[in-house]
Amino acid sequence: MHDLSALAQRIRTDDDARRALQRRTLTVVAVSQVLGGAGLAAGITVGALLAQQLVGGDGLAGAPTALFTLGSALAAFLIGRFTQRHGRRLGLGLGFAAGGLGALGVVVAAAAGSVPLLFVSLFVYGAGTATNLQARYAGTDLAAPAQRGTAASIALVATTAGAVAGPNLVDPLGRLALGMGIPALAGPFLLATVAYLSAGIVLLVFLRPDPFLLARAAAPADEQAAGAAGAAGAALPPSPPPRPGPGAIAGAAVMVLTQIAMVAIMTMTPVHMRAMDFGLSAVGLVIGIHVGAMYLPSLVTGILVDRVGRVPMAIASGVTLLAAGIVAALAPESSLGLLILALTLLGLGWNVGLLAGTALVVDATVPANRARTQGTIDVLIALSGAGAGAASGVVMAASDYSVLSFTGGILALLLIPVLLWAARSGRPDDGGRPARR
């Protein structure tokens, strides 16, 4: 077992030791994210179609996204609190395990034709979504302040391999499912079961030393004292942790608004495509490219967040999402190419917003309040995604895909006034230096 105090003392004075531990942490997180990405893709690609098949009609087609994002909201809250007390390893490992069990429940529900079990299982499956998203913070715990955007981006780009492969395996996984006597649309959730459980095992076994606990132990004495009693579960009343800076509010707003725009359009794209007589392979292609655009650009966008600045890149994400909504709304019904372009822009805008928002939040927090704040913000992200997923089905039923796409793109621009407010309140964009608290 690592001596946490000795390691903390060492990395305070030895930058090489800190960088070595950071590289190890990023390697373990990246491996878990490759697996987690495969699990994440199942719900995105066929969740709405599976509900449509079991329930009938489009009115509840957005329910799967709403349910697993609601589940991810609860999981994000629990993981944030658990991590603040016990560290990233246990919080993330158990979160992925719960997601794997939820995916298995979806398979059973599809085989049994049970709508109630499907909805309960999708809710539990959402724990994997929350965990996959929160793993990006593990990459920032030991990172230098000026490299936090880049560190978060490595966790996201590692998700690409599994997240892109998953949607493009819809057909073979469907054939595998049929061979097992279960509906074809349950096939991707078979992959999600194995992927999420494997990701949890990787983190539980190999994420040592725990990066969050180590970063907290290495923090300045005043920051440690602020949350020490609460973290230890002591009988004495805990000292109140410092309040996050205004950058945390700005970062939360960026991530929430980009999530709403992305989820609303993404959720209904498979339903729209099926209504236009596109096959499952075409749906898998479009969603696969979209998910790739959500994660693959991360190494470039993360560096830009560190070098260009958090606020300019956040504004760029809103403009990109607006462009995505316009292209999706104006694309002819038979144009696969324009749908691919729209969903690529949608993924890219989300990616930039997530990395800029993540860096803003980390800059505006300290170890004594960081994990709890991150978990709370991810709850807001998940709830906003749940609302967007549920509303997307209603909007589609009442109007059409074009109206939905236009609305999502315009909503993304609301992040600009929030950023301007935060800039006046306390410099949310500080180039990587700790924000004013």
418 is a domain residue: yes
In this model, does residue 210 exceed pLDDT 50?
Answer: yes
Query: Which range of residues forms the domain containing residue 26?
Result: 4-230+241-426
pLDDT of residue 433: 42
**pLDDT, tens only, 91-113:** 999 999 999 999 999 999 888 88
435 is a domain residue: no
436 is a domain residue: no
> At residue 45, what is the residue type?
T
332 is a domain residue: yes
Query: Which has more pLDDT, 55 or 210?
Result: 210
CATH code of 10's domain: 1.20.1250.20
**Confidence tier at 295 by pLDDT (50, 70, 90):** confident
Q: How many Cβ atoms from other residues are within 10 Å of residue 57's Cβ?
A: 10
**pLDDT, tens only, 311-333:** 999 999 999 999 999 999 998 87
In this model, does residue 62 exceed pLDDT 70?
Answer: no
Contact 246, 422 (CB under 8 A): yes
Contact 151, 22 (CB under 8 A): yes
* Distinct helix (H) and strand (E) counts, the chain: 18, 0
Mean pLDDT score of the chain, rounded to an integer? 84
405 is a domain residue: yes
Instruction: Please provide the DSSP assignment of 245-301 as one string.
Output: PHHHHHHHHHHHHHHHHHHHHHHHHHHHHHHTT--HHHHHHHHHHHHHHHHTTHHHH
pLDDT of residue 61: 62
Contact 227, 244 (CB under 8 A): no
Query: Which pTM was predicted?
Result: 0.79
- The total number of structural domains in the chain stands at 1
Paired tokens of 239: 């000292």
